[in-house]
């Protein structure tokens, strides 16, 4: 009877497997190869390191930039210690300093005392990556000013700067071997499509019109769940699509990369920032919510002024790698290459488990849309956990349970499921941590009916105190009486960074009274973010009671 019941169950669930009718988006060979790395180490380094700042303000003479102990082999050893497969190097950050000898500007490593003016840090790193079997990614900031995305403040300088930047990008992509990833921080409005196609055919692209991967939308290193690899192509080509635009029924493939600094919340080293280091438990939580949600974890390392990654950081990276291996390198049991909606594991004797890892063969698209994991205990199947998306990898955990069998059942799918693997583990001493980040709504502006003049009101809202870090924030315009939304009209909403109007893609309209702000810049004491909201009343008779407020919160 049990066998017949199970066959009936499988038959019923197979009827739930729903075809979308359209072909599922699939990763390219390049996207798949990049995604399989799972862990990448960012290296953020520049004059800001000497200044104790997050952005280079050109206050450090080039004569002072001489990291005599710089050792790119050390950087690679640290990357390998926590399982990173790639180093993404900030070859040029805000301020324009270049870590390679470029002919486009004197503001580069060859005009410092380092190695007698013959130094090429990017070249050394490329050689070290080859030596240690690591891939290399390049971050070349597209602007010459903060947050400019390559667009010059003076339009008459645009053509000249386009030429400069295109040459810089061509230099780094032709001199340093096969590049795995190209980062355009905050979009790229300079046309570099031809350069990418010719000189970086095996690289994924972060932001810009040619983007093939996406930002998580925060710098916490965490994805929201479910985390889909697909979205609408119309969103992808904006150049700043994030996880927020994810759509399981989208027509484009662009996996998610979750970046996070080791120091909360700083990318560049200083003695004080080093004290803000994340704990091992926090890093493991990030791992679960990046790699464990199907994305790629991009964890920063920042050398000090000697050119070495600090000793305490080195120790922590090694601990991270060791802890990931302790938990997951050897499963208690594993099944692989399952076609269909059922994968089952049997034990010879009752076994304690508290983790499961599912991997989907996403080369054929992200097919699985919901699933349940059950354990056979005391003669009955009991739910241990359930989920929605899987993609490359989904890490699930639950309370200790003793089972003789455990199974994965796919409840819904867009096409016949392809289960790459299903494995279970017992992680000793596991205690999950909760996210204590403040996510409550805050009032950032208010108005009353007397503020209207000739039935119009312009609100200038300072968002700076409410945006403490880069990420995505939701804005709601709330009339005092929700019924008055029928007479209150939003004429326009505009976003300003550093007193300059932001490009339209950084402010997205969700509905009439709901907006999303995409703050890609690193927050410093000089950062300014403002919102201008223009409202009007459709009828003067309805002015009474037309007060209201504007709310903000960080999106999860």
Residue 476 token pair: 């709601």
The answer to whether residues 53 and 181 belong to one domain is: yes
Evaluate whether residue 1 is within a structural domain.
no
Q: Of 74-83, 144-153, 291-300, 441-450, which gets the smallest average pLDDT?
A: 144-153
Inside any domain, residue 205: yes
The reported pLDDT for the residue numbered 435 is 55
User: How many structural domains comprise the chain?
Assistant: 3
pLDDT at 455: 83
Do 221 and 239 belong to one domain? yes
Q: What CATH number has the domain bearing residue 353?
A: 2.60.120.260
**Claim to verify: residue 281 and residue 336 sit in the same structural domain:** no
Q: Are 537 and 546 in contact (CB under 8 A)?
A: yes
Please indicate, yes or no, if residue 478 is contained in any of the structural domains.
yes
The top-scoring range by mean pLDDT among 354-363, 442-451, 457-466 is 354-363
Q: Is residue 175 part of a domain?
A: yes
- Residue 410, in any domain of the structure: yes
Q: Supply the CATH number for residue 527's domain.
A: 2.60.40.740
Rounded to whole angstroms, the Cα distance separating 297 from 293 reads: 10
Among residues 334, 54, 4, 385, the alpha carbon closest in space to that of 219 is found at 54
- More confident of the two residues 555 and 268: 268
- Residues 485 and 503 grouped into a single domain: yes
Q: Mean of the per-residue pLDDT values for the chain?
A: 90
Can you tell me the distance from the alpha carbon of 449 to that of 454, in angstroms, rounded to the nearest whole number? 11
End-to-end CA distance of the chain: 46
Residue 487 has pLDDT above 80, yes or no: no
Question: Does residue 277 sit in the same domain as residue 406?
Answer: no
272 and 288 assigned to the same domain = yes
- 173 and 266 both lie in a single domain: yes
Domain of residue 365 covers 331-425
Decide if 8 is inside a domain.
Answer: no
pLDDT digits (tens, 9 = 90+) for 141-197: 998 654 468 888 888 999 999 999 999 999 999 999 999 999 999 899 999 999 999
At residue 481 the predicted structure's pLDDT band, cuts being 50, 70 and 90, is low
Helix 72-81 / helix 121-132 crossing angle, nearest 10 deg: 40
Which uninterrupted H or E stretch holds 72?
helix 72-81
146 and 124 in one domain? yes
Q: In the listed set 272, 297, 328, which residue is the last one of a domain according to the structure?
A: 328
Which candidate, 295, 225, 299, places its Cα nearest to that of 264? 299
258 and 388 share one domain: no
CATH number of the domain that 324 lies in? 3.20.20.80
pLDDT at 8: 45
Q: Is beta strand 368-377 parallel, antiparallel or unpaired with respect to 252-253?
A: unpaired
The larger pLDDT score, comparing residue 38 to residue 532, is at 38
- Reference 523, options 267, 237, 181; nearest CA is 267
- 20 within some domain: no
Query: Domain end: 275, 309, 328, which one?
Result: 328
pLDDT tens, 531-541? Answer: 988 888 876 54
Residue 322's SS3 state is helix
Pair 320, 454 in one domain: no
Residues 405 and 529 in one domain: no
- Residue-level pLDDT at 439: 59
Together in a domain, 139 and 184: yes
Q: What angle do CA 240, 244, 248 make, to 5 degrees?
A: 110
Question: Is it the case that residue 9 has pLDDT exceeding 60?
Answer: no
- Token pair in block for residue 461: 């809202």
The Cα 85–Cα 77 span in angstroms is 11
């Amino acid at each position: 009877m049990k066998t017949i019941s199970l066959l009936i169950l499988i038959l019923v669930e197979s009827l739930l497997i729903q075809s979308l009718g359209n072909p599922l988006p699939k990763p390219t060979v390049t996207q798949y190869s990049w995604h399989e790395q799972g862990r990448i180490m960012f290296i953020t380094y520049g004059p800001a390191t000497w200044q104790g700042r997050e952005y280079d303000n050109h206050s450090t003479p080039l004569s002072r930039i001489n990291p005599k102990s710089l050792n790119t082999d050390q950087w690679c050893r640290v990357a390998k210690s926590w399982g990173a497969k790639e180093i993404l190097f900030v070859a040029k950050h805000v301020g324009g300093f270049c870590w390679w000898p470029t002919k486009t500007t004197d503001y580069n490593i060859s005009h410092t005392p380092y190695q007698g003016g013959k130094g090429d840090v990017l070249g050394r790193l490329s050689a070290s990556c080859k030596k240690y079997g690591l891939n290399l990614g390049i971050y070349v900031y597209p602007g010459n000013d903060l947050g400019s995305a390559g667009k010059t403040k003076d339009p008459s300088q645009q053509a000249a700067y386009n030429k400069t930047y295109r040459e810089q990008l061509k230099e780094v992509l032709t001199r340093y071997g096969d590049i795995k990833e190209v980062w355009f921080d905050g979009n790229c409005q300079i046309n570099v499509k031809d350069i990418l196609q010719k000189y970086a055919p095996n690289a994924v692209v972060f932001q810009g019109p040619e983007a093939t991967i996406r930002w998580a939308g925060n710098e916490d290193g965490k994805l929201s769940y479910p985390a889909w690899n697909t979205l609408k192509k119309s969103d992808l080509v904006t150049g700043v699509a994030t996880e927020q635009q994810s759509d399981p029924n989208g027509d484009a493939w662009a996996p998610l990369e979750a970046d996070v600094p080791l120091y909360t919340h700083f990318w560049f080293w200083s003695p004080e920032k080093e004290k803000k280091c994340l704990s091992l438990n926090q890093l493991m939580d990030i791992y679960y919510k990046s790699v464990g949600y199907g994305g790629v974890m991009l964890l920063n390392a920042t050398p000090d002024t000697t050119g070495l990654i600090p000793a305490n950081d080195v120790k922590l990276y090694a601990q991270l790698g060791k802890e990931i291996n302790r938990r997951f390198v050897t499963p208690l049991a594993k099944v692989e290459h399952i076609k269909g909606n059922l994968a089952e594991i049997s034990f010879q004797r009752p076994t304690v488990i508290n983790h499961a890892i599912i991997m989907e063969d996403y080369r054929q698209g992200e097919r699985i849309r919901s699933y349940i994991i059950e354990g056979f205990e005391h003669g009955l199947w009991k739910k241990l956990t359930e989920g929605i998306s899987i993609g490359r990898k989904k890490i699930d955990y639950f309370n200790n349970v003793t089972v003789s069998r455990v199974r994965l059942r796919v409840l819904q799918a867009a096409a016949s499921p392809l289960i790459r693997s299903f494995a279970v583990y017992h992680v000793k001493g596991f205690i999950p941590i909760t996210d204590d980040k403040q996510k409550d709504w805050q009032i950032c502006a208010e108005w009353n009916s007397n503020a209207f003049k000739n039935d119009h009101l312009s609100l200038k809202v300072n968002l700076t105190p409410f945006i403490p870090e880069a990420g995505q924030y939701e804005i709601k315009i709330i009339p005092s009486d929700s019924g008055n939304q029928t007479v209150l009209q939003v004429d326009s909403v505009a976003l300003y960074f550093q007193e300059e109007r932001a490009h339209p893609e950084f402010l997205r309209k969700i509905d009439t009274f709901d907006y999303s702000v995409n703050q890609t810049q690193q927050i410093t004491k000089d950062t300014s973010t403002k919102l201008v909201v223009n409202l009007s009343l459709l009828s003067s008779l309805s002015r009474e009671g037309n007060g209201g407020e504007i709310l903000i919160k960080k999106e999860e």
